[in-house]
Structure 1
Amino acid sequence: ARTALLDALSCAIETASKSPSARALLGPIIPGTTVPHGFPVPGTSHTVDPVKGTFDLGVLIRYLDHNDASWGMEWGHPSDNIAALLATSDYLSRHPRYVNIKANPTTISTLLSAITKSYEIQTHYQALNAFHAHNLDHVILVELASAAVCSWMMGHSASKTQSILSHVWMDAGPSRLYRTHPCTVPRKGWAAADAAARAVALVFRADREGSEEAMRGVGSVLRHKGGGFRDGRFGGREFEFVGGLGEMEGRGVEGVMYKIMPVEGHGCAAVEAVLGQMEKEPGMVWEDVEEVVVRVPWAAKYIISRPGREELKCAAERDHCLEWVVAVAMVKGRAIEVEDYEDEGGWVGDERVEELRGRIVVKEDEELTRHYLDVGKRSIAAGVAVRLKDGRVLEEVLVEFPVGHVRNPRTGEEVRRKFVRNMRLMFTEEEIHRILEVVERDDARVCELVDLLAR
Structure 2
Amino acid sequence: MDLSDILAEYVTSVQDINDRAYKEAKRRVLDSIAVAMASKNSPPAKIVEGLSSVFQGGAPTLGFFNATPDFASFYNTLLIRYLDFNDTYLGLEPLHPSDMIGGLLSVSTEVKGSDIIRAIVVGYDVGVNLCDTTSLRKKGFDHVNFLEVATASALSNLLSLDRAKAKNAISLSIIPHVALRETRSGKLSMWKAGAAAEAVRNAVFATLLARAGLTGPELPFSGIFGFSTVIAKDMDVEKIKLDGNGILRTFIKKYPVEYHAQAAVETSLSLDYRGEIRKVLVETYEAGKTILADSRDKWRPQNKETADHSLPFIVSVSLLRKDFWLDSYSLIGNSEVESLMDKVEVVEREDYTKVYPNELPTKVTVITDQGEFSKEVRVPRGHYNNPMSDEELEEKAMRLGLTKRQISIINNFDDMKVGEFVRSLKEV
TM-score (norm 2): 0.88
Q: Is the 8 A contact 2:169 2:209 kept in 1?
A: no
Q: What's the offset of the Cα at 1:416?
A: 1.7
Tell me which residue corresponds to 1:246.
243
Tell me which residue corresponds to 2:3.
none
Q: What's the offset of the Cα at 1:27?
A: 5.5
Q: What's the offset of the Cα at 1:87?
A: 1.3
Q: 1:383 to 1:135 in 2, by over 3 A?
A: same
Tell me which residue corresponds to 2:382.
404
Tell me which residue corresponds to 2:249.
255
Q: Is the 8 A contact 1:22 1:59 kept in 2?
A: yes
Q: 1:174 to 1:262 in 2, by over 3 A?
A: same
User: What do residues 241-300 of structure 1 show as CA deviations (whole Å, max 9, x unaligned)?
Assistant: 5352117xxx6221221112101110010111111113xx4xx36xx1111111111101
Match of 1:228 among 226, 237, 259: 226
Tell me which residue corresponds to 2:161.
156
State the alpha-carbon separation in 2 of the partners of residues 409 and 163 from structure 1. 37
Q: What's the offset of the Cα at 1:57?
A: 0.5
Tell me which residue corresponds to 2:302.
313
Q: Does 1:349 align with 2:349?
A: no
Match of 1:9 among 33, 36, 43: 33
State the alpha-carbon separation in 1 of the partners of residues 50 and 122 from structure 2. 28
State the alpha-carbon separation in 1 of the partners of residues 82 and 45 from structure 2. 7
Q: Does 1:201 align with 2:205?
A: yes
Tell me the C-alpha RMSD between the 2 structures.
2.1
Q: Is the 8 A contact 2:394 2:407 kept in 1?
A: no
User: What do residues 120-167 of structure 1 show as CA deviations (whole Å, max 9, x unaligned)?
Assistant: 111111124101122110001111011122122222210111122122
Q: Is the 8 A contact 2:300 2:338 kept in 1?
A: no
> After alignment, is 129-138 or 57-66 more displaced?
129-138
State the alpha-carbon separation in 2 of the partners of residues 339 and 177 from structure 1. 27
**Matching residue's letter, 2:393:** V
Structure 1 residues not aligned, in runs of 5+: 94-105
SS at match of 2:106: helix
Match of 1:26 among 29, 49, 62: 49
Tell me which residue corresponds to 1:363.
347
Q: Is the 8 A contact 1:271 1:326 kept in 2?
A: yes
Q: What's the offset of the Cα at 1:307?
A: 6.2
State the alpha-carbon separation in 1 of the partners of residues 421 and 53 from structure 2. 27
Q: What's the offset of the Cα at 1:431?
A: 4.5
Tell me which residue corresponds to 2:91.
72
**Matching residue's letter, 1:202:** A
State the alpha-carbon separation in 2 of the partners of residues 239 and 167 from structure 1. 22
Quick check: which has more Rg, 1 or 2? Answer: 1
User: What do residues 371-411 of structure 1 show as CA deviations (whole Å, max 9, x unaligned)?
Assistant: 114xxxx1222111221123x122x3111121222222554
State the alpha-carbon separation in 2 of the partners of residues 114 and 27 from structure 1. 30
State the alpha-carbon separation in 1 of the partners of residues 296 and 201 from structure 2. 38
Q: 1:53 to 1:307 in 2, by over 3 A?
A: closer
State the alpha-carbon separation in 1 of the partners of residues 93 and 56 from structure 2. 39
Q: Is the 8 A contact 2:148 2:174 kept in 1?
A: no
Q: 1:27 to 1:49 in 2, by over 3 A?
A: farther
Superposed, 1:274-285 pairs within 5 Å as: 274-278=268-272, 281=273, 284=274
State the alpha-carbon separation in 2 of the partners of residues 174 and 242 from structure 1. 23
Structure 2 residues not aligned, in runs of 5+: 1-24
User: What do residues 176-220 of structure 1 show as CA deviations (whole Å, max 9, x unaligned)?
Assistant: 1020114x2120111111100100001112223xxx3xx222222
Aligned residues: 402
Match of 2:192 among 188, 212, 224: 188
**Matching residue's letter, 1:419:** A
Q: What's the offset of the Cα at 1:119?
A: 0.8
State the alpha-carbon separation in 2 of the partners of residues 355 and 308 from structure 1. 14
Match of 1:40 among 54, 60, 79: 60
* % identical equivalent positions: 27
State the alpha-carbon separation in 2 of the partners of residues 151 and 357 from structure 1. 47
User: What do residues 13-34 of structure 1 show as CA deviations (whole Å, max 9, x unaligned)?
Assistant: 1111x42332221255444x53
State the alpha-carbon separation in 2 of the partners of residues 79 and 432 from structure 1. 17
Q: What's the offset of the Cα at 1:454?
A: 3.4
Q: 1:153 to 1:348 in 2, by over 3 A?
A: closer
State the alpha-carbon separation in 2 of the partners of residues 431 and 393 from structure 1. 46
